[in-house]
């Protein structure tokens, strides 16, 4: 793993991912904003409440602090412990100050559970005038509520999007992307500001929302990534040494803080204040039935049900988490006793589970629901990463969960873990819960296990109820099976419903069939609908017969609907070798104009195409201009083309100090080449924590070579980019460690790992004689890990 032989490949991959991402984003910008407009219903009054009316921080999801015995009465203490400002607070308050001066801003605090993210947001809004409004959309669902009221948001409003994943991560639903597009529009509109959008995310959710997919894969979060990138404020797990004096001063006047400072391990003050260690202790020492209930809630949360769990699921699934002896010893009121233990407060803070109660005026839940403590949720995702729930869990979820999105998320989790029969049952449940788009997924599952059959009742129903995106998916399915006519019909129907990417796919289908005129007409339709990539394809196709018209197309940009950054990145396509020179000259003129105006993205693209043309010195000058404009990415790119090794290393260090995780990755590789494995591991950890996708497989490789096998597996299994475990798997197999490779296969499946070099492909080519694995690859596994016997999806009512 050297900086010399690895980094150019990474840069090439990153560019490909950018292009794929932009292609999707270009079509989605208008589509999703249009969908959001159609779904919004304006409330009678502006959303939110005056900040002056808000006094209860716990109602806004700030963690309740522990209570301690002290000389003074607890009632004499303020509701929240004395606050100690940290580095992220200074950056957050800088954003608040800019908002106070009239600019709209988004700030997302990224850190682990109970590190103080929500408390920091609470402290920040205290700096705003009391006439500002604070809006926390949560009913009937978070993304639905936010979309419904977004158009009615007035200036001087704070959008409180605590646990932002619940707003932007909406599997099998366009709501998250529609909301992200709407938020981008709100933040860009000077007539609607100033507004402040505050969010909080765990690092794993930040990585999922901001990491570009591999080239060619569907880009499910293009809008969210465009919204979030550059708006993160890292919240460290522990207090810095420089904050010790302020911490001690605060502890001198608040016994809760003093107790946390004295007892917290390794500086985890905020977690201790929120009762995190006591929560873990309560869970680990729980009676068997209470532990089973908590673990059921843990599995429900990490696999897609959230943020609350229905009582019926806990009641039906928890017994399967008990041994036969434990169940035989359970009393008739085992569930009541388990819930009493799990909901009991811990040192005054909330217990492992909390009963969810609707406030007056809010919709009442159809049955009791419970919420798992955030810290235990995070703890369970790590501790139980290889734990596959028992059959009773999956069956109970299909029977008791009513939220279609949760059912589809569980179905995906089951599918990722090769529990295919459970996945099908959950998708069926989602169709019965009212999710018409789930019929498309069910049709694809039927094709996978029963064979391609466009006459089946499931497929016919899917075509009947599919939305625009679903029609495009079914069209691609037909195309893969050589049914061009059916594919064209469905692509056309999808396009008529507003799915602009379907026009592009249909154009490509016609082009492959030799119908160039038909393809050009479709590209024009997509371009007219706002797909800038399609507009470039039209320009390339007409430039031979209409030079001026082609140039006009490149200049035809409506800044109100097309993000200028997207526009600049699309112009890369004109420098891939098959574009007319005059079109490249026009594109270069557009980029130069943007660069001269100080646009960082224009500078980066112009530098990249200049570098491609062997203009290294000119590209270096452009990268320096981008650095002066504040680009951290430009530091990394300049380092890559700098011939002097010492200067290159200095630039990488400068980029790393500025927060560029890619630079940390390169420095780690350099340390590895120099033989300093410990330093390489430290730098690679920082790169992984900073969101560099390649750092996860890099770290797992370094740990494996350092003899830290179990940690190497854990890091690889958590790789958000889907590469780490595959790299480790092939490495072990090539070194002759068949047992180690088989272990990775098992834990990879049980962890729900989806890698680019899939485990299924590895089994096909490297375990062809293992009948058990071959059967598992075809039919999946049972909940207990046994290969499933042959089975079929069956017809619609099966």
Q: What is the DSSP string of 565-630?
A: HHHHHHGGGGGSS-S-HHHHHHHHHHHHHHHHTT-HHHHHHHHHHHHHTT-HHHHHHHHHHHHHTT
**pLDDT at res. 215:** 52
- DSSP-derived letter for residue 770 is -
The number of C-alpha atoms within 13 Å of 218 and in the hemisphere containing its C-beta is 9
**pLDDT at res. 69:** 58
What span, in angstroms and rounded, lies between the C-alpha atoms of 198 and 188?
Answer: 16
**pLDDT at res. 109:** 96
Asked if residues 446 and 453 have their Cβ atoms less than 8 Å apart, the reply is yes
- DSSP-derived letter for residue 589 is H
| The two three-digit tokens of residue 556, written as one number | 């035809």
What span, in angstroms and rounded, lies between the C-alpha atoms of 554 and 548?
Answer: 10
Question: Tokens 């990474």 — which residue?
Answer: 10
Instruction: State the fold for domain 24-270.
Output: Rossmann fold (3.40.50)
Which of 116, 113, 109 lies closest to 84, judged by CA?
116
What span, in angstroms and rounded, lies between the C-alpha atoms of 19 and 211?
Answer: 13
| The two three-digit tokens of residue 54, written as one number | 């808000």
Which of 501, 560, 532, 498 lies closest to 39, judged by CA?
498
Q: How far apart are the first and last CA of the chain?
A: 52
**pLDDT at res. 1:** 37
- DSSP-derived letter for residue 242 is G
**pLDDT at res. 164:** 96
Neighbours of 286 (CB within 10 A): 18
For the chain, the residue count is 798
Question: Tokens 């905020």 — which residue?
Answer: 270
Could you tell me the residue ranges of all domains in the chain?
Answer: 24-270, 277-401
The low-confidence residues of the chain, meaning pLDDT below 50, are: 1-42, 71-73, 558-561
Name the H helices within 500-561. Answer: 500-512, 516-528, 532-542, 547-555
**pLDDT at res. 27:** 27
What span, in angstroms and rounded, lies between the C-alpha atoms of 737 and 740?
Answer: 5
**Separation in Å, CA 298 to CA 198, 314, 352, 530:** 27, 11, 10, 43
Which of 428, 438, 398, 172 lies closest to 300, judged by CA?
398
**pLDDT at res. 39:** 39
Name the pTM for this structure.
Answer: 0.74
Instruction: Write a three-state SS string for 624-674.
Output: HHHHHCCCHHHHHHHHHHCCCHHHHHHHHHHHHHCCCHHHHHHHHHHHHHC
What span, in angstroms and rounded, lies between the C-alpha atoms of 626 and 623?
Answer: 5
What span, in angstroms and rounded, lies between the C-alpha atoms of 349 and 66?
Answer: 5
């Amino acid at each position: 793993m050297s900086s010399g032989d690895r980094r150019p490949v990474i840069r090439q991959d990153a560019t490909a991912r950018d292009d794929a991402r932009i292609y999707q984003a270009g079509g989605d910008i208008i589509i999703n904003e249009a969908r959001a407009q159609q779904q919004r219903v304006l409330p009678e009054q502006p959303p939110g409440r005056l900040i002056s009316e808000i006094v209860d921080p716990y109602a806004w999801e700030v963690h309740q602090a522990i209570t301690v015995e002290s000389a003074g009465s607890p009632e004499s203490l303020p509701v929240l412990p004395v606050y100690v400002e940290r580095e992220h607070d200074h950056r957050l308050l800088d954003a608040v100050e800019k908002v106070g001066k009239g600019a709209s801003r988004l700030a997302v605090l990224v850190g682990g559970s109970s590190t103080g993210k929500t408390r920091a947001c609470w402290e920040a809004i205290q700096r705003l005038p009391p006439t500002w409004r604070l809006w926390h959309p949560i009913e009937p669902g978070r993304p639905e509520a936010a979309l419904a009221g977004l158009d009615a948001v007035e200036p001087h409003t704070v959008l409180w999007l605590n646990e932002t994943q619940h707003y932007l991560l909406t599997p099998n639903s366009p709501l998250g992307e529609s909301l992200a597009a709407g938020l981008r529009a709100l933040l860009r509109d000077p007539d609607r500001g100033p507004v402040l959008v505050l969010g909080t995310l765990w690092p794993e959710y930040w990585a999922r929302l901001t990491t570009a997919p591999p080239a060619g894969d569907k880009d499910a979060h293009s809008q969210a990534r465009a919204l979030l990138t550059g708006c993160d404020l890292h919240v460290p797990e522990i207090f810095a040494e420089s904050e010790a004096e302020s911490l001690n001063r605060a502890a001198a006047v608040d016994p809760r803080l003093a107790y946390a400072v004295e007892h917290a391990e390794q500086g985890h003050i905020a977690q201790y204040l929120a009762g995190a260690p006591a929560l873990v202790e309560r869970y680990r020492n729980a009676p068997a039935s209470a532990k089973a209930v908590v673990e059921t809630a843990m599995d429900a949360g990490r696999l897609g049900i959230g943020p609350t769990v229905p009582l019926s699921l806990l009641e039906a699934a928890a017994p399967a988490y008990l041994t036969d002896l434990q169940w035989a010893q359970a009393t008739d009121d085992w569930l009541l006793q388990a819930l009493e233990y799990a909901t009991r407060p811990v040192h005054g803070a909330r217990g492992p589970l909390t009963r969810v109660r609707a406030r007056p005026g809010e919709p009442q839940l159809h049955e009791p629901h419970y919420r798992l403590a955030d810290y235990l949720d995070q703890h369970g995702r790590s501790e139980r990463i290889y734990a596959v729930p028992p059959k009773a869990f999956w069956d109970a979820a299909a029977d008791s969960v009513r939220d279609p999105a949760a059912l589809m998320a569980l179905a995906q989790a089951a599918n990722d873990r090769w529990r295919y029969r459970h996945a099908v049952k959950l998708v069926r449940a989602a169709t019965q819960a009212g999710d018409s788009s789930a019929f498309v997924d069910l049709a694809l599952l039927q094709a996978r296990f029963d064979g391609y059959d466009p006459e089946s009742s499931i497929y016919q129903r899917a075509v009947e109820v599919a939305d625009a995106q679903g029609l495009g998916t079914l069209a691609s399915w037909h195309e893969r099976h050589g049914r061009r006519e059916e594919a064209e019909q469905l692509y056309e129907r999808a396009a008529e419903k507003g799915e602009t990417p379907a026009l592009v796919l249909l154009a490509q289908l016609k082009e492959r069939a030799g119908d160039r005129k038909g393809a050009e007409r479709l590209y024009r339709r997509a371009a007219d609908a706002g797909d800038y990539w399609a507009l470039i394809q039209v320009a390339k196709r007409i430039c031979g017969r209409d030079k001026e018209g082609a140039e006009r197309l490149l200049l035809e940009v409506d800044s109100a609907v097309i993000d200028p950054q997207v526009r600049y990145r699309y112009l890369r396509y004109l420098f891939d070798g098959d574009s007319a020179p005059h079109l490249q000259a026009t594109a270069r003129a557009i980029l130069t104009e943007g660069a001269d105006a100080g646009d960082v993205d224009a500078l980066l693209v112009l530098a990249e195409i200049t570098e491609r043309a062997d203009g290294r010195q000119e590209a270096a000058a452009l990268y320096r201009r981008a650095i002066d404009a504040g680009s951290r990415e430009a530091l990394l790119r300049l380092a890559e083309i700098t011939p002097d090794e010492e200067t290159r290393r200095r630039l990488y260090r400068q980029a790393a100090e500025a927060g560029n995780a890619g630079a940390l990755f390169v420095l780690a590789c350099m340390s590895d080449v120099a033989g300093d494995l410990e330093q390489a591991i430290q730098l690679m950890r920082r790169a992984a924590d900073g969101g560099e996708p390649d750092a996860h497989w890099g770290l797992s490789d370094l740990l494996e070579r350092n003899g830290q096998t179990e940690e190497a597996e854990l890091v690889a299994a958590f790789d958000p980019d889907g590469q780490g475990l595959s790299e480790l798997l092939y490495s072990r197999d090539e070194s002759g460690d068949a047992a180690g490779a088989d272990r990775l296969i098992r834990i990879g499946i049980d962890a729900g790992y989806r890698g680019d070099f899939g485990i299924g492909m590895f089994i096909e080519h490297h375990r062809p004689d293992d009948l058990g694995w071959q059967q598992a690859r075809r039919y999946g596994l049972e909940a207990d890990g046994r290969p499933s016997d042959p089975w079929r999806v069956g017809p619609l009512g099966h």
